[in-house]
Structure 1
């Protein structure tokens, strides 16, 4: 199937938001962020933030009209949604307003199929970025408008089926998570009532914090030292995706935040309280804006990990967390957290019992993650093939390539 190829700037108008952030954000026109992206259509701010018509006028804000395809041009590069109501945002996004020869839904899928290309073209040592000119110069296929709409109809139906399966699996994943929590709670019990409680500081060598002041000033594109951030810490595990690196100079300057195998790293902001043991892979790494707990001889790291991720610890974190928009947990609150005093032998026994009971659940979750990854790959491959004209959408059969 042969289609013409054109510069994206010839078939869309590009809208770049203003740099200044309005204050207050209490108006009726939604102010959207990457956290608001969920599915194809976007019409509101989940946090209820918005700007007024007066702010739009006095600050000369760019309003994305309905039908605009919003595409992330920095963080989460290539994340895409269609505005179904007037929206305003910061410079995380660029607005692509289709002209007569471009269908909004086709453009949505087109930009989604180009995420890897967008990421490869992005520049910036601290945060990758694509400019308006970069977007305008992209070469894109341009089928006839009727064919664009047929492709969009086909992808709406096919990706919708995949998305329904993924949503159902997401509910199953959540049930498994709750079951796992219940198992852990069974073995930990109501620790605050069953044994003596002592402040955590009495069971550890140290509690400190990672790099807080302008950490991005030390980021490097290659080499350097790995640095864990909140995005890398999940309850009970470390995710190396989106890992940043800091210079050797920064690592030397911030020697207090160097990590040792067996330390615990705890999220301070966002999913406050999520904790994971530092594995040998990250021994000697650094960290950014995380609480670092270095257990003493009377506290087993795995026991502390289970405890800090339990509902008991989450209640304590919520009690001491501060911040109206994002929960924020500090070092002093961590030191003061009451924790049960068990002998190391009892801690090892409890960890072994929890490991044995949660192993089949973890195996099921691991299998589901692999299957979810395959579903996501299938979805992306379907979009890429349809956009490239490798699928005859009138018959839903793969065309010869």
Structure 2
């Protein structure tokens, strides 16, 4: 893409030169900034059975927004100015720079400002421009996060081409960003397919083995079906020692260094493997002999607020000792019968079964006795090791592909950001591209 033929200094340090025929104006000169409100959260009459959409930052996830996660009652919005359909919304507190167009009349909280639609303003152009420019007018708080206020917003300088050119720029960026977003969506879909493949690989290997020609027999387990004829079938408590975690590990007491790896519930319930990158520790005051976790042990999450996370398991892949916290169950494999990592891989099959035993309303849990009575199909030890080697290889292949796709997504997003910035600041001329 070629640059414009003539440039001038914009007076904006980070932008530098802009096309000679563009104007530079304060945001407050171009349009008004309208912020929202938050009714008292202690008054249920403002929220209970509300029907009015009240947009917060968490609702700004796409280019257009119409539904809010929280709704307000008529009492809460009485006397408040409604934000009309077509308005451009911008978050300027906490998560600075999230944007969307209102697809219908809505209200917002005070962390969002709105620019109302106006026949003299091309809001689609300003969607791209503000998304690229305003962040440069922000300050940093003590934590290094970007912050804006109404004064900074109104004082922000904008680069403004003529109306026709604004439309050309917006149309060009609509087209180009849609193509980029489509590529990103395809990469994200590939990552999701890899997750499904990972589950399928483990399930097939630990229930059917690696030899597709082997004779099969009925497992005697309804949800499992047939297993290789030469495999045994044993309850988990026959091939592993089960221990309920009850060490009182609190997340605000965890250390960056210590004598024992601290397997606190909040730090393990999303982790598949506890390895040397897991840096949470406690010292000897928490030590309990029957709560020690050794290399090759498997940990089950026995409590969760969501059914999907109940029965999640992780593998302890460290040589130093760990201590298991509450809301977890520790499995110590008997190496005479089961290879440690084979037990872990098979545990990925058990989660769905344990979810059937879930009890509770707000918090779901299963009992250690529910886990004890689950049966596990058991190949000979040497075959278990071959299965583990095969799964390890496949997991590594899938992991590397996911890294590749995530890197490509990151590069595409960076390219999209750079493209928008180059176009809305006049570094490239796209008028003939539309």
Whether contact under 8 Å (1:201, 1:207) holds in the other structure is no
Whether contact under 8 Å (1:63, 1:86) holds in the other structure is yes
Q: Considering only CA atoms, is the larger Rg found in Structure 1 or Structure 2?
A: 2
Aligned to 2:4: none
Whether contact under 8 Å (1:102, 1:145) holds in the other structure is no
Q: 1:257-304 CA deviation, whole Å, 9 max, x = no partner?
A: 9999877585945662455446669x89999x9955554354877546
Q: Which residues in structure 2 correspond to 1:182-261 (within 5 Å)?
A: 182-189=200-207, 193=224, 195-198=233-236, 203-207=241-245, 236=272
2:91 corresponds to 1:71: yes
SS of equivalent residue, structure 1 residue 30: strand
SS of equivalent residue, structure 1 residue 196: strand
Using the TM superposition, give the Cα deviation of residue 164 of structure 1 relative to its aligned residue in structure 2, in angstroms: 1.6
Gapped regions of structure 1 (runs ≥ 5): none
Whether contact under 8 Å (2:240, 2:333) holds in the other structure is no
Aligned to 1:27: 50
SS of equivalent residue, structure 2 residue 245: strand
Using the TM superposition, give the Cα deviation of residue 387 of structure 1 relative to its aligned residue in structure 2, in angstroms: 2.6
2:356 corresponds to 1:356: no
Partners of 1:295 and 1:156 lie apart in 2 by 54
TM-score calculated relative to the size of structure 1: 0.67
Whether contact under 8 Å (1:65, 1:86) holds in the other structure is yes
Using the TM superposition, give the Cα deviation of residue 87 of structure 1 relative to its aligned residue in structure 2, in angstroms: 3.2
Whether contact under 8 Å (2:33, 2:154) holds in the other structure is no
SS of equivalent residue, structure 2 residue 26: strand
Distance of aligned partners of 1:337 and 1:219 in 2 relative to their CA distance in 1, 3 Å threshold: closer
Using the TM superposition, give the Cα deviation of residue 83 of structure 1 relative to its aligned residue in structure 2, in angstroms: 1.7
Whether contact under 8 Å (1:265, 1:278) holds in the other structure is no
2:149 corresponds to 1:143: no
SS of equivalent residue, structure 1 residue 142: strand
Partners of 1:315 and 1:52 lie apart in 2 by 42
Whether contact under 8 Å (2:248, 2:286) holds in the other structure is no
The answer to which structure has the higher helix fraction is 1
Aligned to 1:172: 190
Moved more, 355-364 or 179-188: 355-364
Partners of 1:113 and 1:254 lie apart in 2 by 52
Q: Which residues in structure 2 correspond to 1:2-401 (within 5 Å)?
A: 2=19, 3-4=23-24, 6=26, 11-18=31-38, 20-21=40-41, 23=44, 24=47, 26-32=49-55, 36-45=59-68, 50-57=71-78, 63-66=82-85, 67-71=87-91, 73-74=93-94, 76-88=95-107, 93-98=111-116, 103-113=122-132, 121-123=140-142, 130=147, 132-133=149-150, 136=153, 139-144=156-161, 146=163, 147-189=165-207, 193=224, 195-198=233-236, 203-207=241-245, 236=272, 264=299, 268-269=304-305, 272-273=309-310, 274-277=312-315, 294-298=330-334, 302-303=341-342, 305-310=344-349, 312-314=350-352, 316-317=354-355, 320=358, 328-330=363-365, 333=367, 336-337=370-371, 339-341=374-376, 345=381, 348-396=385-433
SS of equivalent residue, structure 2 residue 185: helix
Partners of 2:154 and 2:51 lie apart in 1 by 34
Using the TM superposition, give the Cα deviation of residue 130 of structure 1 relative to its aligned residue in structure 2, in angstroms: 3.4
Distance of aligned partners of 1:62 and 1:392 in 2 relative to their CA distance in 1, 3 Å threshold: same
Distance of aligned partners of 1:83 and 1:303 in 2 relative to their CA distance in 1, 3 Å threshold: farther
Distance of aligned partners of 1:269 and 1:159 in 2 relative to their CA distance in 1, 3 Å threshold: farther
Partners of 2:138 and 2:284 lie apart in 1 by 31
Distance of aligned partners of 1:390 and 1:297 in 2 relative to their CA distance in 1, 3 Å threshold: same
SS of equivalent residue, structure 2 residue 33: strand
Partners of 2:408 and 2:309 lie apart in 1 by 29
Gapped regions of structure 2 (runs ≥ 5): 1-17, 208-218, 228-232
Whether contact under 8 Å (1:207, 1:335) holds in the other structure is no
SS of equivalent residue, structure 2 residue 432: coil
Q: What RMSD over aligned residues (CA atoms) do the two structures have, in Å?
A: 5.3
Whether contact under 8 Å (1:300, 1:348) holds in the other structure is yes
Distance of aligned partners of 1:232 and 1:114 in 2 relative to their CA distance in 1, 3 Å threshold: farther
Using the TM superposition, give the Cα deviation of residue 320 of structure 1 relative to its aligned residue in structure 2, in angstroms: 2.0
Partners of 2:432 and 2:294 lie apart in 1 by 58
Whether contact under 8 Å (1:209, 1:292) holds in the other structure is no
TM-score calculated relative to the size of structure 2: 0.63
Using the TM superposition, give the Cα deviation of residue 116 of structure 1 relative to its aligned residue in structure 2, in angstroms: 6.8
Moved more, 251-260 or 300-309: 251-260
Q: 1:288-332 CA deviation, whole Å, 9 max, x = no partner?
A: x9955554354877546544544x4145337527567xxx555x5
Partners of 1:151 and 1:108 lie apart in 2 by 11
